[in-house]
Every structure is written in C-alpha cells, then in structure tokens.
Chains A and B, each alone.
Chain A
Amino acid sequence: MELKLYVDRLSQPSRAILIFCKANGIEFEEVKILIGKMQHRSPEFAEINPMKQLPAIVHGDFKLFESHAILIYLASAFSGVADHWYPTDIYKRAKVHSVLDWHHSNLRRGSVGYLFNTRIALAFGLPLDPKASAEGEKLLSASLAMIESYWLEKDEPFLLGNSQPSIADLALVCEIMQLEVADEEDRDRILGPHKRIMKWIDDTKNATAPYFDEIHSMLPLAKEKLKELKVQASKQ
C-alpha cells in the first residue's frame, strides 16, 4: 500500500513526520506542496486536505491530516516501529497525548505567533506585527520554561522522563527548530537561557541521525531569504 506525504520542509509538523518515517524505515513518496508558492491553496490539494494545511498523508485510499494524528497512525499502522515512539502501555501513552495536546496552545501557538509576526509574514506579502510578535514571544518563552521545569526530567534525555524519544519529542523539537529562521540575536535571546532544551534538541537529533539534519538542511537558506525580504520591506 502506497504512502504519500504531502509536506513542505519549511513546515515544522511536516518535518516531524518526514524524520519519523525515515528513522523508522517507512517507505513513502514525498509530495512537495510549497507554501511560499501558495500550492496549499490549489484545488488539487484541497481534495487531499480541505483545511488546505500541511502535512497531510494518503495511505492507499486513506486520507489523514493533523500531524499528531498522522504520527500516531504511522506508529500504529507500520509493524516495524519500536514501542518507545508511541508506547502501548496506556499510562505512558496517555502522557504522550497530554504533552501533544499541551503543545497546540502553548509551544506551537507561541512559536508561530512570534515567528510569523517577526519574519514569516513577509514571505506572504503580509506586514509584520510587533505587538503580536511580542505576545508570541511571551508565550513561547513561558512554554520553553515549562518544558524545562516539567516536561523534561533531570536524569533522562527525553520528554516525560523517557530514555528514548517518542513522537512528542519529534513534534516539539521540530517546532523549536523553526527559530533557525530568525535572526541569531533573537534566537539566542529566546533559546540561550535554556541549556536543558538545547541538550534535548541535540539528543533528539542524535537519536534520529542523519535524517534530522538532512530534513532541517533547508532552514539556513530560508533564513537568508527572509532576511532579504525584511531588508527590502524596510527600504519601502
């Protein structure tokens, strides 16, 4: 049964599912839907996902969107996936659901709010919004602090005190990696205080090497492009 991933590597949750599949030897066809070229708004893609968002998958005749649902489905549908990604134990599994749910309104909301209004809006010809950016940064910083103080435990490398990564580590780390498109100073201001987070990103990267780096390799280019757009916009 053929698996197609409709993704843009600029999309954090797209990266999470790409890395997950590669790290687990799941074969797929990567169908690039480039947000910067508005391809997510095409009528063809609306057939795949009426919400016009990435990522989405088609597995045989089964369509699915929302990255957490996709990660859970892939972990369950493919027999080769190791248990630590999405444990069968209902207590451990419940904790994975808990952090994935928390993510929506906290880390994701803060990170997207900050980056969109500081930088990414330009790629869509929209104005930057310093007020919304500041609100986003506040929530982002609070979320990073919560991850350090609650979701990551002292003696184990991954979320929820796990010794091996789960789909939650991939989802949240890929979100934080989006800060690579911001100015170094901003990134250092926001992430710098959080040494425990930086170690966790490294551990997640090593656990999914070499795919993590490969899937994230386009971020520096995106950052340069967005920098250019900002310079142009301030000249106007």
Chain B
Amino acid sequence: MELKLYVDRMSQPSRAILIFCKANGIEFEEVKILLAKRQHHSPEFAEVNPMKQVPAIVHGDFKLFESHAILIYLASAFPGVADHWYPADVRKRAKIHSVLDWHHSNLRRGAVGYIFNDSIAIALGLPLNPKAAAEGEKLLSASLAMIESYWLEGHGPFLLGNSEPSIADLSLVCEIMQLEVADENDRDRILGPHKRILKWIEDTKNATSPYFEEIHSIMSPVKEKLKELKVQASQQSA
C-alpha cells in the first residue's frame, strides 16, 4: 500500500513525520506542498486536507491530517517500528499523549507566535508584528523552562525519563529547531540559558542520524532568505 507524505520541510510537524519514517525504514513518496508558494491553498490539496495545512498523509485510500495523529498511526500501522516510539504499555502511552497535548497550547503556540511574527510572516507577504512576537517569546520561554524542569525529569536522556526517543521527542524537538531561522542573537537569547534542552536536541539528533540533519538542512538557506527579505522590507519603509 502506497504511502504519500504531503509536506513542506519548512513546517516543523512535517519534519517530524519525515524523520520518523526515514528512521524506521518506512517507504514513502514525499509530495512537496510549498507554503511560500501558497500551494497549500490549491483545490487539489484541499482534496487531501480540507484544513489546507501540512502535514497530511494518504496511505492507500486512507487520508489523515494532524501530525500527532499521523505519528501515532504510522507507529501503529507499520510492524517494524520499535516499541519506544509509541509504547504499547497503556501508562507509558498516556504520558506521551499528555506531553503531545501540552505541546499544542504551550511550546507550539509560543514558538509559532514568536517566529512567525518575528520572521516568517515576511515570506508569506505579511507584516511582522513585534507585540505578538513578544507574547510568543514569553510563552516559548516558559515552555522551554517547563520542559527542563518537568518533562525532561528522570533517568533517561529523553522526555518522560525515557532512555530512547518517542514520537513526542521528535515532535517537540522539530518545533524548537524552527529557531534556526531566527537571528543568531535571538536564538541564543532564547535557547542559550537552556543547556538541558540543547543536550536533548543533540541526543534526539544522534538517535535519528543521519536523517535529522538531512531533513533540517533546509534551515540555513531559509534563514538567509528571511534575513534578505527583512532588509528589503526595512529599506522600503525607510
């Protein structure tokens, strides 16, 4: 049964599912839906996902969107996936659901609020919004602190004290990697204080090497592009 991933490597949850599939030897066709070219608004893509968002998958005739639902489905549908990604144990699994749920309104909301309003809006032809960016940064920082003090507690290197990564590690780390498109000074201000987070990102990268780096290789060129757009935008308003 054919698996198609409708993704944009600029989308944090898209990267999480790409890395998951590669790290687990799951074969798929990557169908690029480029947000900057508004391809997510095409009528063809609306047939795949009426919410017009990435990622989305089609497996045979089964369509699915929302990255957490996708990660859980892939972990369950493909027999070769090791248990640590999405444990069969009801209690371990419940904790993964808990952090994935927490993510929506905390890390994701903060990170998107900050990065979109500080940088990415420009790529979509929208104005930057410093006030919204500041609010986003506040929630982002509080979320990073909560990950360090609570979610990363325990004996192992990964979330929930686990010794091996789960889908939650991929999802949250890919979110934080989006900071790579921000200015270095801003990234260092926000991430620098959080040494435990930096170690966790490194551990997640090593556990999914070389796919993690390969999928994230897009970040540097995008950062340069956004820098240019920002300079152009300030020249126009001058």
Contacts and interface: CB of A to CB of B under 8 A. Distances in A.
Interface of A: 50-51, 62, 64-70, 72-73, 76-77, 90-91, 93-95, 97-98, 101-102, 104-105, 109, 146, 150
B202 interface: no
Contacts of B76: 90, 93-94
B66 A62 contact: no
Contacts of A69: 94-95, 97-98, 101
The dominant DSSP class at the B interface is helix
Contacts of A73: 90-91, 94, 97
A62 B101 contact: no
Given A68-B97, A104-B101, A62 B69 contact: no
Contacts of B94: 62, 64, 69-70, 72-73, 76
Which A-B residue pairs are the 10 nearest by beta carbons? Answer: A69-B97, A97-B69, A66-B101, A101-B66, A104-B104, A69-B98, A73-B94, A94-B73, A98-B69, A66-B98
Nearest to A91: B62
Interface residues of B, number: 28
Contacts of A50: 150
A105 B65 CA distance: 14
A90 B97 contact: no
Contact of A66 (B51, B93, B97, B109): B97
Interface string B61-94: 0101111111011001100000000000011011
A94 B77 CA distance: 10
19 contacts: A64-B94, A65-B98, A66-B97, A69-B101, A70-B94, A73-B90, A73-B97, A76-B90, A76-B94, A77-B90, A90-B77, A91-B73, A94-B69, A94-B70, A95-B69, A98-B69, A102-B66, A105-B104, A150-B50
Nearest to B76: A90
B105 interface: yes
Given A98-B64, A150-B50, A90 B102 contact: no
Instruction: Give the interface centre of B76, B91, B98, B109 by most chain A CB atoms within 10 Å.
Output: B98
B170 to A, nearest CB: 15
B73 A72 contact: no
Contact of A101 (B69, B102, B150): B69
A101 B68 contact: yes
Instruction: Give the interface centre of B64, B66, B72, B95 by most chain A CB atoms within 10 Å.
Output: B66
Contacts of B51: 102, 146
B209 to A, nearest CB: 28
B66 A97 contact: yes
A105 B98 CA distance: 16
A69 B104 CA distance: 13
A115 B173 CA distance: 33
B151 to A, nearest CB: 10
A101 B64 contact: no
A81 to B, nearest CB: 12
Contacts of B97: 66, 68-69, 72-73
A35 B69 CA distance: 31
Nearest to A66: B101
